[in-house]
Amino acid sequence: MKAVILAAGKGERLSQGKDKSKPKPLIPLLGLSLIERAILSAKESGIYDFVIVVGYRSEEVVKYVEEKQKRSGLNIDFVENAEWEKGNGLSVLKARDALQEQEDFVLLMCDHVFDSSILKELLAKVMLNKGGKSVLCVDKPENVFDLDDATKILLERNKPKAIGKGIENYDAVDCGMFYCTPAMFNMLEEEMGKGKYELSDAVQCLIECDKLEVFDISGRFWCDIDTPDSLEYAKNKMLKSLEKPTDGIISKCINRKISKRITAKIVNTNLTPTQITIMSFIIALASAAFFLLGEHKYLIIGGLLAQASSIIDGCDGEVARLKFLTTDYGAFVDSILDRYADGTMILGLIIGYWMLYGGISVWIIIIGLFALIGSFMISYTNSRFENIFENSVKGGGRGIPIRRDMRLFIIMIGAILNQVLVMLLLLAILTNLEVVRRVFSIRRIFKLPTVPPT
């Protein structure tokens, strides 16, 4: 499957913002230009072949994309539309020669950002139900940021009846994502014969000959980036989407709020997620080193560093998701370093305490070791039954919330209050109690009767 991406327009209103020197496809949004975002969103859905239609300042756009996607393994063809000012329908038609005859394709706009799951589902829908029609993604009008500027659609029993920016009655809005059959080109040619150069003119024809279906994507994130305001809107929505339903309490209330802001900054640098993971690990080691010194003032610094490490630990995943750099390997390394960080911090706390109060040190060792074992066991039980525990813990309803966000928070508070023993005791009790709870709660799931399915 090929994707045709329209990147020919000027985007005048957008270039009135701070990035005025750039052609629209190269305008950055959270670390990636709009054209890169369109390409990588499509790649997430398994599309590796692209036809990009360029127009306004085409040389710059081509050079930029070629440079950025050099080692990506993607096949990218460029098609020039010198008459881009006539209308975006002409840009689509220009892509025809770069496609095989009678080949279906996906049509995207470089200035529309979208959650890549939308495209995955669109393709899945088409695969399941090959109706030979083109499919247009639509959303409910109330979900659209700039309704005045949107292309509206009138529906009747879920079938499209009319399309246009100016139509008065409408039920849905065009999201700028299409699954197209080659019929699209015929309609474009026909309309151009009549002097109509806009894509929506051809879509109106498809509607009239019953060759278009709509696919409702309401509830998913997408945004047409036309103005500096819509760019800001999209940015906020995308940052908001970094919150995970499985985030723990501390993560939700504190860490994520800060890490999102940090991420919004560092996403514009060349820092990779792995580098951020390592930074978080180094901060944790520094925290352990301060704990080792034992004195209260160093404990406070160590505690704050522990919490800082916990916050930065969220940024690696956030940057990875925003820049399409998520890998299983990255998540694996992150989890390994987290465990070593936890262990080293507790080691630092034990030795720091021991250095200060040599007298009762057997207890600090025992309690500290059980805090360490418990912390590991929370991660270990999670790893063995990831989905079961994540689901039962998320929503906060069940289980003791003693995942990493909470553990490091307890360490910070304990260090600030100079209550190392109490802090370790709390960790030792809560973590191991939660492990026991998990062992018993999971029992019910396994102890289903061994009767055959009837």
Taking the complex as a whole, the smallest distance from the CB of residue 80 to its own copies amounts, in Å, to 26
- Looking at the Cβ atoms of 156 and 328, the one nearer to its own copies is 328
CA distance 144 to 126: 25
- The answer to whether the CB of 349 falls within 8 A of the CB of 291 is yes
Kindly report the three-state secondary structure assignment for every residue of 186-212: HHHHHHHHCCCCCHHHHHHHHHHCCCE
Q: How far is the CB of 294 from its own copies (least distance, A)?
A: 12
Q: How many residues does the chain have?
A: 454
Tokens of 351: 């030795």
Nearer residue to its own copies within complex by CB, 241 or 361:
361
Query: What residue type is 291 in one-letter code?
Result: F
Least Å distance, CB 291 to its own copies, is: 13
C-beta of 93 vs 341, nearer to its own copies: 341
Number of Cβ within 10 Å of residue 348's Cβ equals 27
Contact (CB, 8 A) for 27 and 226: no
Please give the residue ranges that form the binding site for its own copies (CB under 8 A).
43, 46, 48, 72-73, 327-329, 332-333, 335-336, 339-340, 343, 346-347, 350-351, 354-355, 361-362, 365-366, 369-370, 372-373, 376-377, 379-381, 383-385, 435, 439, 442-443, 446-447, 449-452
Distance CA 132, CA 172 (A): 22
* 49-54 and 159-164 strand pairing: unpaired
Which tokens is 130 given?
A: 């090959």
**Is the Cβ of residue 208 or residue 386 nearer to its own copies in the bound state?**
386
Three-state secondary-structure class, residue 95: helix
CB of 255 to its own copies, least distance (A): 23
| Shortest Cβ 260–its own copies spacing (Å) | 27
Which one, 271 or 442, has the nearer CB to its own copies?
442
Closer CB to its own copies, 27 or 337, in the complex: 337
Distance CA 158, CA 161 (A): 9
Could you tell me the smallest distance in angstroms from the CB atom of residue 287 to its own copies? Answer: 16
Q: Which is nearer to its own copies, 139 or 338 (CB)?
A: 338
Give me the least distance between CB of 445 and its own copies, in Å please: 8
> 49-54 and 75-80 as β-strands: parallel, antiparallel, unpaired?
parallel
- Angle between helix 256-266 and 296-322 (nearest 10): 60
**Least CB distance to its own copies at residue 453 (A):** 9
DSSP 114: E
Alpha-carbon Rg for the chain in angstroms: 27
Nearer to its own copies, 388 or 416 (CB): 388
CB of 407 to its own copies, least distance (A): 15
Q: Which of 35, 66, 36, 39 is nearest to 50 (CA)?
A: 39
> What's the rounded Cα separation, in Å, for the pair 404 and 401?
9
Where b means 16+ CB within 10 Å and e means fewer, 262-292 reads bbbebbeeebebbebbebbbebbbbbbbbbb
Given the complex with its own copies, which of 236 and 383 has the nearer CB atom? 383
